[in-house]
Chain A
Amino acid sequence: MRKVQLGLLLVGAALAASASAQSTYKGPKVTITFLHGFTGPDRPVMEQLIKDFNEKNANIEVRAQAQPWGTTWQQLPTLVARGNAPDVVVINEDQVTQFIARGALTPLTAADLKAGGINKSAFYGPLFKTADYEGKSYGVPVSSTAYVMFYNKDLMAKNGITKVPTTRAEFTAAVRACTSDTAGKKPGQAGFDATKLNTWGVSLYNNWVGSRAAYAAILQNGGSLTDSKGNANFNSAKAVSAVQYLVDLVQKEGVARKNSTEEAELAAFSQGKVCFFPSGQWYLDRFEQQKMNFGVAFMPRIGGSTRDAAWGASSHLTLPRQPQGYDANKRAAALAFIGYLSGAASNLTWTSTGSMPTQKAVASNPKLANSRVSGVFDRVGSLYATSGFPWMGQVLGPFDQAWEAAYLGKKSVQQALNDGVTEANKQIEQARKQLGN
């Protein structure tokens, strides 16, 4: 069944793409290399897109290579330094800024974008800006993923919840209603045992994916991970109060399991034991195959009411630095390829992999109206990538550690976040030295 679906999608994709596969490049025939990390079920979709491009453009041959992201991050500095970097490389939101700051990538000027037929204003603003640095653009979004909230419709109905919560008050009421222990007692009732939950409100867990719930909450409350200079500040009063709310759901309210792991919560949601499962959109396919009665919503404003916010991940098409004497035709062809792959037609095809649309024109396409994630499309502009500073990795590592310590109850929220900020700022200071600023 799934193969048939994929096949149909590919046929549809080929039709959709054929209209715009013709590129802007008119020069002599060149071969360009393309390195990306789409090695999962998204790989055949990417390969089909490239094949279409090659068939339609006799003067450009794109040779693609797929390898795990982590390998690329380790190899790219060497490839660039030795002068044999691929012509086009896909880089993710959490890595792109450090590669820009270290000089691995070349800026895309207004003239470059025009030459490639790339319309910057067509994309969601924050998404495009993810690969901006010091006023210049370095990448064009090709894929985008959201941190969303999956919800179990049956379990909600059974507990009398008729509306997907969007505010903290609604959310608190809903998670309480969803929770009962093995003896049938509800939170707040005498004898309620939070260590023996039969069903519960929300999945919270210890790893980095779990920590993205805290990230959303902090941003919703007007807090941030870093200040305008890039120093860690996720121990601000706003951040502490937002994370405290989540930890209280576990430690005080008993509406989420203690000491849980992503696998355990994933299994529990699949088994219909939990109402709300905040996580990456990448689980969509899994739940659909399990024929569950579920929906997908944007993260409710649990951390605070300042703004809508959730974590967004994205992948960007970039042009690495090349040695002196690099063929200008290759760069022109690479830009044309980027224009094609990031364009509306290709992006529509790409959404079949579970990616969010990268631009409004795609989100409003009637073909996506029945998609389960369509309810999230109107707030793609509220997805915040962890990018902007070359040391985002040094901020996220300690932040994830802080969430783990707070969630497991190893430290108070204030203490965990303070320790995380102290560590992150020491690492940032060293990163600044390393980058020579």
Chain B
Amino acid sequence: MSLTAQNPEFTARKRRGGGGFHRVEPYLYLLPHAILFFVFVVYPVVYGVYVSMHRFDLLQQTQTFVGFEYYRNLFDSSTPQSQFFWQTLLNTTFFTIVSVPLLVATSLGLALLVHRPIFGRSFFRAVFFLPGILTVSVMGILWRWMFDNQIGLVNAVMTAVGREPVPWLATQGLAWVPIVVGTVWWTIGFNMTLYLAALGNISQSLYEAAEIDGATTWPKFRFITLPMLAPITLFVGVTTALASFQLFGQSQVITNGGPTRTTQSVIQYITEEGFSNNQLGSATAMGFVFGVMMLLLTAVQFRIMARDAREA
């Protein structure tokens, strides 16, 4: 009691607002976001669980309850869902494994290059950032044309230097090249900007101290820059991995999932199941399974990288 009496702010508020107001106030501050959170997150999730357990069609008067049928379909090898969901999930995982290290490493590299006071620094920063403002359809058509089997620029160059042209878009495996290269080109600027901001926050005194101790470029990078950047690397890594798992537009426009579904992403397949096959229940069930995997992945990633950041 004496404690509260000594807190002038508390007593002042108590006089003004009357008894008990402080119990409501914090919740009022939370209310705007809580409304959005319930309307756009909690309600859709709960409703989604309902949809995924019914033969759901808004146009029907009644929705037949099917329990876990759509979840079971994913583990029943005779269904198209089990075949395509896991195949497209594997495709997406492959894309993520290839593109995330590339995206993190190249954006860090670029950031280091344009962080230094070189001639035309702002120009280069702008150039690297600019592709990010294109829509996915523009970016996709651009790279599809560059890698076209017959008339693409890449093959024209290869022919000019005496190599055989490669049917990029029609070859399993190689069809990923335009998607990965295009994605790196398209999204690298954003990550680079994050790294630039973090680089600017590293105190110069650390480098000066290291120089006095005789450190050269590489040790300075290895033992000062990299550890200081660990939190931002965690952030960039997690967001890039999540974005990569949500691959949709690039493979839709560049390869349309081909050849023979080998570049179809899991989100593309879920969309196909929901809106081409009109199996909304099944699509929602897959969405949940995929969503839970993403949650687990993020949790693991945070644990590993947070530990790294502490140890470093």
Chain A residues in the interface with B (C-beta under 8 A): 70, 73-74, 77-78, 80-81, 98, 102-104, 206-207, 257-261, 263-265, 267-268, 393-394, 397, 401, 404-405, 408, 410, 423, 426-427, 430-431, 433-434, 436
Contact = CB atoms under 8 A, between A and B. Distances in A.
A436 B60 contact: yes
Interface of B: 55, 57-60, 64, 78-80, 144-145, 148-151, 167, 169-172, 256, 258-261, 272, 275-279, 282
A103 B145 CA distance: 42
Nearest to A105: B59
Give 9 closest A-B pairs by Cβ, nearest first.
A264-B150, A259-B167, A81-B58, A259-B170, A102-B59, A77-B58, A259-B149, A264-B151, A393-B276
Contacts of A74: 275
Nearest to A258: B167
A22 to B, nearest CB: 36
A261 B150 contact: yes
A74 B169 CA distance: 29
Contacts, number: 93
Contacts of A98: 278
A430 B282 CA distance: 10
Contacts of B260: 401, 404-405, 408, 410
B150 A430 contact: no
Given A103-B60, A104-B59, A408-B170, A260 B275 contact: no
B282 to A, nearest CB: 8
Contacts of B64: 436
Nearest to B66: A433
A263 B278 contact: no
A103 B276 CA distance: 17
14 contacts: A77-B57, A259-B171, A260-B149, A263-B144, A263-B148, A263-B151, A393-B278, A397-B272, A397-B276, A408-B170, A426-B79, A427-B277, A430-B279, A431-B279
A68 to B, nearest CB: 12
Contacts of A436: 55, 60, 64
A404 B279 CA distance: 25
A401 B86 CA distance: 18
A422 to B, nearest CB: 9
Nearest to B141: A263
Nearest to A425: B80
What secondary structure prevails in chain B residues at the interface with A?
Answer: loop
B62 to A, nearest CB: 9
Contacts of A206: 169-170, 258-259
B278 A434 contact: yes
Contact of B150 (A70, A257, A393): A257
Contacts of A431: 277-279
B259 A394 contact: no
A404 B175 CA distance: 14
A434 B150 contact: no
Contacts of A393: 276-278
Nearest to B260: A405
Given A261-B148, A426-B80, A430-B279, A401 B60 contact: no
Contacts of B278: 98, 102, 393, 431, 434
Nearest to B258: A404
A78 B56 CA distance: 12
Contacts of A207: 256
Nearest to A266: B151
B205 to A, nearest CB: 57
A267 B278 CA distance: 36
B173 to A, nearest CB: 12
Contacts of B172: 410
Contacts of A78: 58
Nearest to B61: A103
Contacts of A394: 276-277
A241 B279 CA distance: 34
- The winner among B57, B170, B275 for most chain A CB atoms within 10 A is B170
A287 to B, nearest CB: 17
Contacts of B144: 263
Nearest to A419: B260
A23 B85 CA distance: 52
Given A206-B170, A261-B169, A423 B80 contact: yes
A338 to B, nearest CB: 22
Contact of B55 (A73, A404, A410, A433): A433
Nearest to B78: A426
Contact of B261 (A70, A267, A401): A401
A431 B281 CA distance: 12
B92 to A, nearest CB: 19
Q: Which of A74, A206, A394 lies at the interface centre, i.e. has the most chain B CB atoms within 10 A of its CB?
A: A206
A47 B149 CA distance: 40
Contacts of A405: 259-260
B273 to A, nearest CB: 9
Nearest to B149: A259
